[in-house]
């Protein structure tokens, strides 16, 4: 989920609901506060391959809506997403995927780790 637009997340969640059997577990990662803070630092080693303008737009959307996304290359459908844990949980409320684990920076002390169970 770390490199996908929200529309692609929705398709992935739908796929998980179809692919898992009840009691099945899915794990995915997101970029949250830690990555946002790195982007805000302004250090070139934390630019994630985005231009200054792209970083500004990404952070503005993240700050305003809880989610932001920018393509690495125009219209590539692959880029960098930022999402607040609360935003992710809100998107899963109407799914049959029950969140059983959420650990900020739980994957490599970098990405947020989310585990879901199909009800």
Domain ranges (residues) in the chain: 6-118
Q: CA 118 to CA 76: how far, in whole Å? A: 31
Q: Please say whether the beta carbons of 114 and 13 come within 8 A.
A: no
pTM: predicted TM-score of the whole model, two decimal places: 0.94
Report pLDDT digits (tens) over 2-59: 999 999 999 999 999 999 999 999 999 999 999 999 999 989 999 999 999 999 999 9
Q: CA 110 to CA 75: how far, in whole Å? A: 26
């Amino acid at each position: 989920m770390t490199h996908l637009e929200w529309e692609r997340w929705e398709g992935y969640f739908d796929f998980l609901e179809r692919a898992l059997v009840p009691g099945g577990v899915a794990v995915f990662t997101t970029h949250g506060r830690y990555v946002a803070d790195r982007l805000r630092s302004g250090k070139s080693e934390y630019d994630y391959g985005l231009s200054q303008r792209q970083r500004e737009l990404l952070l503005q959307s993240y700050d305003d809506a809880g989610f932001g996304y920018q393509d690495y290359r125009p219209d590539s459908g692959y880029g960098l997403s930022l999402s607040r844990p609360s935003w992710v949980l809100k998107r899963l409320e109407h799914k049959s995927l029950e969140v059983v684990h959420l650990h900020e920076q739980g994957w490599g002390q970098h990405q947020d780790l989310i585990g879901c169970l199909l009800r």
